[in-house]
Amino acid sequence: MIFRSSSALVAILALSTADAFGIRTIFHQKSASIGFPVTSLGMSDEGTTEPADTPSAEGDDSAEAPAADVNDILSSPAFLKRKLEVLESDIATTEEELVAATERKEIAKEEWGPQIEALQREYTNIQQRMTEQNQVGDSDAKVRVVKGILDLLDNFDRASGVIVAETEVEQTIEAGYKQAYQDILDQFAEMGVTEVETLGTEFDYELHQAVMQMPGTEYEEGVVCKEFQKGFIMDESLIRPAMEAVAL
């Protein structure tokens, strides 16, 4: 009987030691799997508990442990996995916001698109009208200037038809007048103002004004045979018709 009791006690002690060792092993594995440093208590050979990682009295490298632990946490798979999950969540949220903004844009385009296109067409029309008005205004100003100078040219023409330069001084003065007259015509040409062709051309009701008919000329019937006053046009628009005689 005593032998059997001793055997049972030994078996119970052995089972208790094995269970304690198994519990300690499982605790180490679970702690390592979640990334926490293992500071569990170890089991001595006699079955008593003692600190597993006790710093030595000599104080070796324990001061550098906190920095190493922080680096280990930041580079641990669990931390990097969580960081990746956060980034993926932010990307998904941004994509959702982009889709919603695109939908709002399409809705606004359908609602306000015709009005915007109408405003753009009206703006283009206004620009065209302003350009045309400016061009018309410039043309009107040029016409007024040309008409004011035409009176001066008419005086040149009438004077040159009745004055005959005899002396050298008079010829010099006449040459100066003719040069001034030609300078005015050159300026007219730069402004797009040209003379109406008359002598030897067929009578044109749009450009010519007949004041008389002359029989027995070298020109055929209906052809301008004499010019009394020059006519001028600007950019195909008549400023003043030419006054002439037409052959019979």
- Distance of alpha carbon 13 from alpha carbon 19, whole angstroms: 10
For domain 149-247, the CATH architecture is Roll (2.30)
Collapsing DSSP states into helix, strand and coil, what is residue 89? Answer: helix
Q: What is the pLDDT of residue 64?
A: 52
Report pTM: 0.46
* Residue located via tokens 């002396």: 167
Collapsing DSSP states into helix, strand and coil, what is residue 239? Answer: strand
Per-residue pLDDT of the chain (248 residues; tens, 9 = 90+): 433 444 433 343 343 444 444 444 444 454 444 444 444 444 344 444 444 444 444 444 444 555 556 677 778 888 888 889 999 999 999 999 999 999 888 888 887 878 888 878 888 888 888 877 777 667 778 888 888 888 888 888 888 777 788 888 888 888 888 888 889 889 888 888 889 999 999 999 889 999 999 987 888 999 999 998 889 998 778 899 999 999 98
Pair 225, 217: CB distance under 8 Å: yes
Q: What is the pLDDT of residue 94?
A: 93
Residue 197: closest CA among 242, 235, 142, 132: 242
Collapsing DSSP states into helix, strand and coil, what is residue 38? Answer: coil
* Residue located via tokens 């330069």: 165
Residue 216: closest CA among 194, 247, 188: 247
Beta bridge partners of 210: 244
Burial label for 94, CB within 10 Å (0-12, 13-18, 19+), is exposed
Q: What is the pLDDT of residue 150?
A: 87
Q: What is the pLDDT of residue 67?
A: 56
Q: What is the pLDDT of residue 74?
A: 78
Domain ranges of the chain: 149-247
